[in-house]
Amino acid sequence: MNAKATKFSVIFLVLCLLSAGPVLAQNARIKIDIDRSVGKVDELLYGNFVEHLGRCVYGGIYEPGSPLSDENGFRKDVLEAVKGLDVSIVRYPGGNFVSNYHWKDGVGPAAERPARMELAWNRLESNHFGTNEFMAYCKAIGTEPYFSVNMGTGTIEEAQQWVEYTNVKEGPYYAELRKKHGYPEPYNIKYWSLGNEMDGFWQMGHMNAEDYSKKAREAAKLMRLTDPSIKLVAAGSSNFRPNANPMEWNRVVLEELKDVVDYIALHMYVGNPDDNYYNFMSTPLVLEQRTHLVKGLIDEVMSRANRQGRDPIYIAWDEYNIWYRWRSSETMSGTRALEERYNLEDALVIAGFLNAFIRNADIVKMANMAQLANVIAPIFAEEKGMFRQTIYFPLQLFAQQVRGTSLDVFVDCDTYDTERFFLGLGESQAQLDKVPYLDVSATYQDNGDVYICVVNRHKDKAISTSLISQTGAFSGSFEVYEVNGPDVKAENDFGKEPVKTVKKDGLRADGKAEVTYSFPAHSFTMLKGKIKR
């Protein structure tokens, strides 16, 4: 063959490969062994968060007088979207807001409630939405309430009185005050956090770990004397700036409160300010690293704890999300604060967070995406309508379906190394080696149902993967649900939903112990099948 013919053959081969689409990465394996369990998946992993910040409450979930609102002032379109998320627990009322919030301002006749300067996010707080309005919203969406008390400018007595108002049936002053306000039955709120991000210098009433622990211990004492059945959450680390020492904060708080609290709360926000897709895709693994570190601290202090028969301390990731576009001084304050718009790559990172929670189901027992509407949220509303952001869809799939026992899954696939990068504004740096292109979690239920959740982090290539059951065979067919879009920057908007969940053709199993599936580039896929021993 002459040189000219050889050149033509090479060009023809290249054109053929290009026309066939992205080359499939081969020989990946996911092994499922239902005897290798991690822990029970707690339904509280699928929680959310409502803070008096920007338009989360007013103009988000609550807009009296709007033609789109019901008789309680709740936006009906937003309410229906919230119901679609099967939200298991909602944290309220903050956030930074709570460190200067006094709950008594938000009860009683709305016309008599005082308007206050809201110092955390620089807005006026009317207090027209408060304890009883929030509890009505929880009832409307069928969720568990989770209250945070003011450990900044508030007192331990104020925290006790709030428990009395919400949880004591009758007799003492604040229980009778609730009845006077028109709510004869107590709410029996089970979950209470002892403040918010008290390690952060930005927090009103910021303290060191020793002083926080002293105040939290005494608040807990009064709150439990009022209602012994409540569960308490300590404020864990939130300040991961380069000069901070978050794990020392966690160590001190766990040591001092090991006999008192039921959870330690951790917070994490990530972003992609440098527009580096692969760095961004790796950020859930940093959350997982922090989970392992805190689990080690918990294990260490539990050896000296006197829990009086209560469960060990668990981790609550009660604030997590992607937040980096709206973090300037202008976009972090006022009535339009933190109105982040999300794309497909953000949805994949959220799926990665949820996979990390499932993989650590033995220690992570609560998680709350921040927040519910408009403010770094899966739901975005304006005066005339709303739409579901890209991050809505992976959260919905997990919340509606992924239950049971988390499995210790074996994953063998290609990997990549990240550069050294900032996780987000105000965060520390990270650098990760051997990040797997396939990010996987799996759960198993007693009826034989198995759920395999897979993020393909590869931007350009589908990954052909062998799914292997090591205890029993797959039976019937897998249902296949996929969250994807035309490209990683695709965004949803009013009347436009290029990123959403699509149910794909089923994957036949037919009693085999091994089947093959090709996970598309930049996708999140949930496979629902059965394993028969």
**Given its phi and psi angles, is residue 374 left (phi above 0), alpha (psi -120 to 50 degrees) or beta?**
left
Q: How far apart are CA 244 and CA 491, in angstroms?
A: 35
Could you tell me what percent of the chain has a pLDDT over 70?
95
Q: How far apart are CA 465 and CA 473, in angstroms?
A: 17
Q: How far apart are CA 97 and CA 105, in angstroms?
A: 14
pTM: 0.94
**By the 8 A CB rule, do 382 and 336 touch?**
no
Q: How many CB atoms lie within 10 A of CB 12?
A: 10
pLDDT in tens, 99-119: 999 999 999 999 999 999 999
pLDDT in tens, 75-89: 999 999 999 999 999
> Class for domain 42-401, per CATH?
alpha beta
Task: Catalogue the active-site residues.
Answer: 197, 319
In this model, does residue 340 exceed pLDDT 90? yes
Q: What is the pLDDT of residue 12?
A: 40
Give the pLDDT band of residue 17 (cuts 50, 70, 90): very low
Q: How many CB atoms lie within 10 A of CB 384?
A: 10
Ordered by start, the domain boundaries in the chain are 21-38+407-532, 42-401
Q: Can you identify the CATH homologous superfamily of domain 21-38+407-532? A: Golgi alpha-mannosidase II (2.60.40.1180)
